[in-house]
Structure 1
């Protein structure tokens, strides 16, 4: 992190920074009701946010951050941070769409492919299965010009068979491939448990692919790490380690280093954390270029980057919000310089998709997300749109250091395969995922529609569609499991589990905490019953308490000091055994009538809600 208080600041900026320091101090002074002279000038450091990778994000970036950059990089030139190409006729990134998953016949696949190509898709990806095999490719690709449309293959153990069929089609057509990525990924597949061909098969694929133009056999699939909870630096660093592992194996099998490098491409999962994802792709190119430089072929550092919207961020509940998440992710991927971008269907996390929503609609929304950014916003016509941003450039440098530390650590352990066999990769991912899970559980990491602003009125998903996607640690999974319990309770009883609020004081004072509590409980599928202001000692207060099973007292700290103890006492007299309070324990410190628990921003919300559901019989 660049420390603005220690860095040499140009004279024309020092005065402005001093003014900003004082302005920030003034805001804190008003918030804390203190004299501004009692607030330290470096109070702005309280606004620093630290990422999971330990990168500090300042509240303000200026030309000071640019002044301290050690490198002046150019688009299209080593180390390719600012993009793999500086083509002045740039038209943007490839629009990728996957086929073979939603269609029921080869004829439908072909129709969907041709429709997509006529509707803006530029890169075709194929997911092979028992129902869609290599033998189906001639019919599936009928009418497709292989020299015009890049292809991405996801064939698992059948990659060699698919490659053989594609080579035959190209030879029959008498044209080279526009670009073909065979997608062999044995090293990363073992991380998330997905199916792939073997390492030996991958090496043979690479040997054969090296004899053909525009064909790459192996994908270094960083999304496998992201699916298991990797941070951005870990996804990059581990991908570098995998790339180096492949190169070593290919060279040992007889290929020269340059040819080995030419057989690799990369895939990265892109989340809705916009600036971090822009920097992630820039860092991945820079660091891979450094690896290629060490191998004496820096020109190979501009390997293709296939970006795909991260499966971890997709929710089953309120899946329409996934459209917004995907839009931000696609923006970040495109601006970050991805070769092509695949936007997953907004209901990707739901088995079979949202009931009543056609697959054509889901594909069209995904495709148009890319096209709106490219054709209406014209982002693709700008080379490195984020270049020159003080924040992005600084964050890119900081993230690069963290990612290189991950890579160096793996290399020090003997390389990726050695570290994986020793369980060190799994341990790393487990630890990072647990931190992320805790941040989500405590609502420090906010997920709209999940642990923030949930919609209890949405139609419950059928049980058969709540299947958890294989090999992915989804951010929303814990809270959605709570919602599933609520749905099951609703199915049995005709109503959702509920908790009664005990608002103290007028609406203007209790509204903040009744709103907070309602939102919190709803994220666990619990309905809040709000009777409005209640006064301890009144008949209405007593009747409300007697009708409740669990209550949450809501009011201001001042109100708690005046009437809180009496309210808890009256609730006990009404026979309530579970009394919670919206606020901090300090509100009842030393009181003989303290509540049984507290709801606030510091609790493990997921665990608390699970306990409440159990108490309510759900």
Structure 2
């Protein structure tokens, strides 16, 4: 039997010079720089990047460890919410995110914040077998205590639970027009931790900033500032979880998650907590979900989920394709759930730790994003820290500017949305929803969907 030869042996050696000649021929006189693109943060994206063969994998979710497939529970009727939760879990979900009415991303829906309603919602749910999390809310500490009471009453072993209580003293209150209190939040978190319930108590959540139009670096910088502010207020790193949004830009999505790990690792190093584990929850972007030709949202969600998985998120939530229209029905929820199941169990994306390591394009973008994010973080600190910049409106102003630039990119066709601004479907029909979406007032960081920005 002959030795097996490498596949590359059958091809002539490739050089950049040879590639460049072929590119110039294909460009037919157009300048090579016409292939160069820039991100919203001004990061230059070359058409070809050298392989970073000496790059080490970034520490994130371990290879072979499946991510948590999380589903939002956001019905106002506790009995219906219970059916929703059990259906999701029986259909392959391994985690639930409890969305309470009035929450920062509840969109006018959500569970009632009452003990009896919560008990009915969780009836039959074996909390010790799944991961629970609470969606961002201005009254996060009170809701965390409510959930903790329900879990203690359930009789399940508390140390076997995995709960991200999600107390956010910054962006959730800001969206509600209130000033948060980091010291009070950390005090509530320590009281929760003393109850012995496994998991994290606090959240450095960038989703609200992202949905308002922030660039990737602005979102990362805001997360870094929130994380640092919580540490300064007396929180231990193991008390904090991070949440981030991921959109349909697959390369930037992967790089953003990797850059997040680098930024958090640097903060931990500088604060004397080097090596601490900080779990990351990723959610597909709400601002990328469009109303027209809503089925195309399934493609966007798949790309975003792929990026989140390759980027090493420990937990992922895929928003239903119909969420721009209202409260998703069972079909839309099943599609969101199955998107993750296919990527996890058929594509096996969880098998390898940091599979993007060594990719020249992604390594370059990761480093550039981390540098830009650190610059945003330093700017926030120079403004007096996150609480101060939220009070002054400085961060919100920068995000507003980014959103206007994003809107302008739609206006001059540099950015397009398939099915909305390009190739619109003349026979489009709206998807079925359980209830029509309602706009909720936001004092700061309002949701700015891409299709709305594109419409001007």
* TM-score (normalizing by structure 2): 0.86
Greater share of helix: 1
Partner of 1:83: 60
After TM superposition, the structure 1 = structure 2 runs for residues 444-459 of structure 1, keeping only pairs within 5 Å, are 444-459=414-429
1:266 aligns with 2:231: no
CA distance in structure 2 between the aligned counterparts of 1:420 and 1:162, rounded to whole angstroms: 23
Partner of 2:295: 320
Name stretches of at least 5 consecutive residues in structure 1 with no aligned partner.
1-12, 33-42, 75-80, 252-258, 354-358, 481-605, 607-618
- TM-superposed CA distance for 1:465, in Å, is 4.6
Cα deviation, 1:216-239, whole Å, max 9, x if unaligned, reads 221111011101111001100111
Partner of 1:20: 19
Partner of 2:77: 105
Partner of 1:222: 206
CA distance in structure 1 between the aligned counterparts of 2:177 and 2:322, rounded to whole angstroms: 21
After TM superposition, the structure 1 = structure 2 runs for residues 500-539 of structure 1, keeping only pairs within 5 Å, are none
- TM-superposed CA distance for 1:163, in Å, is 3.0
Partner of 1:96: 70
Partner of 1:133: 113
Q: Which runs of 4+ in 1 moved over 6 A?
A: 194-197
- TM-superposed CA distance for 1:404, in Å, is 1.1
CA distance in structure 2 between the aligned counterparts of 1:401 and 1:155, rounded to whole angstroms: 27
Q: For the Cα contact (< 8 Å) 2:140–2:168, is it kept in 1?
A: no
- TM-superposed CA distance for 1:109, in Å, is 1.8
CA distance in structure 1 between the aligned counterparts of 2:184 and 2:114, rounded to whole angstroms: 16
Question: 1:288 is matched with which residue: 259, 264, 277?
Answer: 264
- TM-superposed CA distance for 1:49, in Å, is 0.8
CA distance in structure 2 between the aligned counterparts of 1:155 and 1:270, rounded to whole angstroms: 17
Question: 1:206 is matched with which residue: 159, 180, 189?
Answer: 189
Query: Against the structure 1 CA distance between its residues 453 and 299, is the aligned structure 2 distance closer, same or farther, given a 3 Å change threshold?
Result: same
Partner of 1:586: none
Q: For the Cα contact (< 8 Å) 2:292–2:420, is it kept in 1?
A: yes
Partner of 2:325: 350
- TM-superposed CA distance for 1:48, in Å, is 1.2
1:122 aligns with 2:61: no
CA distance in structure 2 between the aligned counterparts of 1:248 and 1:340, rounded to whole angstroms: 26
Partner of 2:105: none
Question: 2:38 is matched with which residue: 15, 34, 50?
Answer: 50
- TM-superposed CA distance for 1:328, in Å, is 0.5
**Equivalent residue pairs, number:** 427
After TM superposition, the structure 1 = structure 2 runs for residues 169-188 of structure 1, keeping only pairs within 5 Å, are 169-172=150-153, 173-175=155-157, 176-188=159-171
Query: Against the structure 1 CA distance between its residues 15 and 453, is the aligned structure 2 distance closer, same or farther, given a 3 Å change threshold?
Result: closer
Query: Against the structure 1 CA distance between its residues 469 and 369, is the aligned structure 2 distance closer, same or farther, given a 3 Å change threshold?
Result: farther
Q: Which has the larger displacement, 313-322 or 193-202?
A: 193-202
- TM-superposed CA distance for 1:215, in Å, is 2.8
Q: Aligned-residue CA RMSD in angstroms?
A: 2.6
Query: Against the structure 1 CA distance between its residues 163 and 406, is the aligned structure 2 distance closer, same or farther, given a 3 Å change threshold?
Result: closer
Query: Against the structure 1 CA distance between its residues 310 and 174, is the aligned structure 2 distance closer, same or farther, given a 3 Å change threshold?
Result: closer
Query: Against the structure 1 CA distance between its residues 460 and 311, is the aligned structure 2 distance closer, same or farther, given a 3 Å change threshold?
Result: closer
CA distance in structure 2 between the aligned counterparts of 1:24 and 1:185, rounded to whole angstroms: 49
CA distance in structure 1 between the aligned counterparts of 2:429 and 2:179, rounded to whole angstroms: 37
Q: For the Cα contact (< 8 Å) 1:192–1:472, is it kept in 2?
A: no
CA distance in structure 1 between the aligned counterparts of 2:262 and 2:453, rounded to whole angstroms: 36
Partner of 1:239: 223
Name stretches of at least 5 consecutive residues in structure 2 with no aligned partner.
1-11, 102-109
- TM-superposed CA distance for 1:350, in Å, is 1.1
Q: For the Cα contact (< 8 Å) 1:134–1:161, is it kept in 2?
A: no
Secondary structure of 2:203's counterpart equals strand
- TM-superposed CA distance for 1:285, in Å, is 1.0
Larger radius of gyration: 1
- TM-superposed CA distance for 1:330, in Å, is 0.6
Partner of 1:61: 49
After TM superposition, the structure 1 = structure 2 runs for residues 129-168 of structure 1, keeping only pairs within 5 Å, are 129=101, 132-135=112-115, 136-154=117-135, 156-168=137-149
Q: For the Cα contact (< 8 Å) 2:268–2:275, is it kept in 1?
A: yes
- TM-superposed CA distance for 1:111, in Å, is 2.1
- TM-superposed CA distance for 1:351, in Å, is 3.0
